[in-house]
């Protein structure tokens, strides 16, 4: 294939195992792709406060980050505070969606991203599920703060029930992605990893045919469709696999490794 000039990589479940490990082989492959002159862009649901350290651990100190499922775009810069500069932020009013979900799931936990820091939360989340600084705030503050990303967690529910709930209440003005657990991510309407990556692609003057993306989650579907070569991880669900041009190995097999190596041939 024509050498790719922009490689978009999901983090959790793609580069990183669910217990937070990135293999030495994947780290080396990411660096090799970067050293070959390609633009490596992490495209993740993580906030920038959590995505930037992952990029640095991979040896990426310059370039671009797409965070919060596309609502935040940052430029890696070793001279900047924390190693990055936020260049684009899209927010929405989370109040209507939060109030609607709360009526259906009164025991759910809610978190609104606190840009660059962590999250404002309705109550304590299960240990280790959210990163950064966590501050419990009032319902009034939570629902009135413009948000880049909202997390809704229902420990006693299932992803299937979340899908049914979303369809039933009709979340029309926000984008949503249901995670591997009973977890719902909300981002501004019309915003996705794909929309942010398209802005980055145009800024970098990369041709549309020179793009590759690898992902495993429902928040990766639009990104995989956007890329000229969209690759789903082997453990991805049916909808994600259907959106991809090809399927690689699962995360436990370092499935992203074969794709990264193929870009160097």
Nearest CA to 265 out of 98, 16, 9, 36 is that of 36
Supply the pTM of this predicted model.
0.90
- Minimum mean pLDDT range among 145-159, 169-183, 215-229: 169-183
- Beta-strand pair 246-247/72-76: unpaired
pLDDT at 168: 79
The structure tokens listed for 51 are 């995505």
pLDDT at 257: 97
Tell me the C-alpha to C-alpha distance, in Å, between residue 117 and each of 54, 97, 120, 220, 255: 15, 23, 10, 24, 31
Binning pLDDT at 50, 70 and 90, where does residue 137 land?
very high
111-116 average pLDDT score: 93
Query: How far is the C-alpha of 47 from the C-alpha of 74, rounded, in Å?
Result: 10
Query: How far is the C-alpha of 22 from the C-alpha of 165, rounded, in Å?
Result: 34
pLDDT at 1: 43
Q: What are phi and psi of 70, to 5 degrees?
A: 105, -10
pLDDT at 172: 57
41-61 average pLDDT score: 96
Buried b (16+ CB within 10 A) or exposed e, 164-175: ebbeeeebeebb
Query: How far is the C-alpha of 194 from the C-alpha of 175, rounded, in Å?
Result: 12
Binning pLDDT at 50, 70 and 90, where does residue 157 land?
confident
pLDDT reading at 162 higher than 80? no
Percent pLDDT > 70 in the chain is 94
pLDDT at 197: 98
**Model confidence pLDDT, tens digit, residues 213-226:** 999 998 999 999 99
Q: Is 226 helix (H, G, I), strand (E, B) or coil?
A: helix
Instruction: Say if residues 78 and 40 touch (Cβ distance below 8 Å).
Output: no
């Amino acid at each position: 294939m024509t050498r790719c000039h922009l490689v978009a990589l999901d983090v959790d479940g793609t580069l990183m195992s669910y217990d937070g490990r990135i293999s030495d082989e994947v780290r080396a492959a990411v660096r090799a792709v970067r050293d070959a002159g390609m633009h490596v862009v992490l495209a993740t649901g993580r906030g920038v406060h959590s995505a930037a350290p992952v990029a640095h651990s991979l040896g990426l100190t310059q370039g671009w980050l797409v965070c919060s499922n596309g609502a935040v775009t940052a430029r890696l810069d070793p001279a900047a505070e924390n190693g990055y500069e936020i260049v684009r932020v899209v927010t929405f009013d989370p109040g209507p969606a939060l109030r609607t979900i709360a009526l259906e799931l009164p025991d759910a936990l809610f978190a609104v991203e606190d840009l660059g820091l962590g999250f404002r939360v309705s109550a304590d989340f299960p240990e280790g599920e959210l990163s950064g600084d966590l501050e419990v705030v009032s319902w009034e503050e939570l629902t009135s703060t413009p948000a880049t990303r909202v997390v809704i967690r229902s420990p006693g529910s299932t992803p299937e029930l979340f899908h049914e709930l979303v369809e039933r209440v009709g979340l029309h003005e926000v984008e949503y992605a249901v995670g591997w657990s009973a977890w719902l991510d909300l981002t501004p309407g019309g915003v996705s990893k794909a929309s942010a990556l398209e802005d980055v692609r145009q800024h970098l003057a990369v041709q549309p045919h020179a793009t590759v993306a690898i992902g495993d989650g429902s928040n990766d579907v639009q990104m995989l469709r956007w890329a000229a070569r969209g690759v789903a991880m082997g453990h991805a669900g049916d909808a994600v696999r259907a959106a991809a041009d090809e399927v690689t190995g699962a995360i436990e097999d370092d499935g992203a490794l074969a794709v990264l190596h193929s870009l160097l041939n």
